[in-house]
Amino acid sequence: MIKLIMSDMDGTLLDENSRLPKGFADIARQLKEKGVIFAPCSGRQYYSLLDTFKGYEDEFLFLAENGTMVRYHGKELFSSTMRRPLGLKALQATAALPGIYEVFCGKKDAYVCKNRMTDEFAAELNKYYTHSAVVDSWDDVEDEMIKASFFDATGKAGERIMPVLQKFAGPFQIALSSDYWVDVMNYDINKGIAIQQGAEKAAHCAHGMCSLWRLYERCRDDEFRLLQLCHGKCASQNQGAGPLSDSQQQGIRRFAGHSEAD
């Protein structure tokens, strides 16, 4: 029995203007009626996800900041806190590079140093971090670090930021999120681990294992279509999970309220 449906956000659930597809509210209603939890998964901040899903704050399971923060009904189920001294060294590593901007991603807020804030960066920051604060220095941040993010205004993050941060690989994982963004997190965290921990605490997991169905979708007219699904266990086996069979996909479509003719 399906208990949980997960979806990525940017480039998957959201359109190019960061809007939810038509028909989403109807699908969310059907899932709630069937007792299925929907879980947005994103590199975005938790508060940014709340802004996107207004009205669903107490319904959805939120996997934010690339899985470093999981919240349900407003309560933290899981987080992956970084070693602060090393995290601050990573943030300081790009300080001398022009056009590079750093974000201290905390549990309570996202923080930017005052001397790094510009109008251009503020506009980009607000796309993903709608709850942010400006500080005089990182020492003023009274929060736990769960991620460090770096923005390259030139769109060459892979060339300009990644090489500088590679010395932190090992304790941390260095992830190129886009041409403009690089994220730094604990080496042992990913969305699979996050949902395993979160689902376990939310009582949707038995003996540390949870069957998951990952949802990829798009919208055409008023229809919410399921295009590609894969399945797996929320553990190491997840990497080798294969695609669903045709009959399994048809079952999911029927479950979501669509006929084969759709």
Q: What CATH number did the domain enclosing 24 receive? A: 3.40.50.1000
pLDDT at 215: 33
Q: What is the mean pLDDT of each run of 10 residues along the chain (262 residues)?
A: 80 80 89 89 89 91 90 90 97 95 96 93 90 95 97 96 97 94 92 71 43 32 29 34 45 43 38
Q: Determine, yes or no, domain membership for 250.
A: yes
Domain boundary among 140, 163, 186: 186
Question: Which of 157, 151, 158, 170 has its CA nearest to residue 91?
Answer: 151
155, 186, 217 — which closes off a domain?
186
Backbone angles phi, psi at 7, to 5 degrees: -145, 135
Among 153, 186, 219, residue at a domain's last position: 186
Task: Assess whether 100 and 132 both reside in one domain.
Answer: yes
Residues 131, 251: one domain? no
Within this chain, do residues 99 and 178 fall inside the same structural domain, yes or no?
Answer: yes
Query: What is the sign of the dihedral through the CA atoms of 90, 96, 100 and 102?
Result: positive
**What pLDDT was estimated at residue 5?**
84
Provide the domain count of the chain: 2
Task: Please check whether residue 71 lies inside any domain of the structure.
Answer: yes
CATH of the domain at 138: 3.30.1240.10
Question: Is the same domain home to 58 and 100?
Answer: no
- Angstrom distance (rounded) from CA 214 to CA 210: 12
260 within some domain: no
The residue with tokens 């939890």 is: 37
What is the structure's pLDDT at 41?
A: 87
* 196 and 235 assigned to the same domain: yes
What's the confidence (pLDDT) of residue 189?
86
The answer to whether residues 141 and 16 belong to one domain is no
Q: Are 6 and 39 in contact (CB under 8 A)?
A: yes
Place of tokens 């003719």: 261
What pLDDT score does 198 carry? Answer: 66
pLDDT of 214 reads 37
The predicted pLDDT at position 128 comes to: 87
Query: Which domain range does residue 172 map to?
Result: 84-186
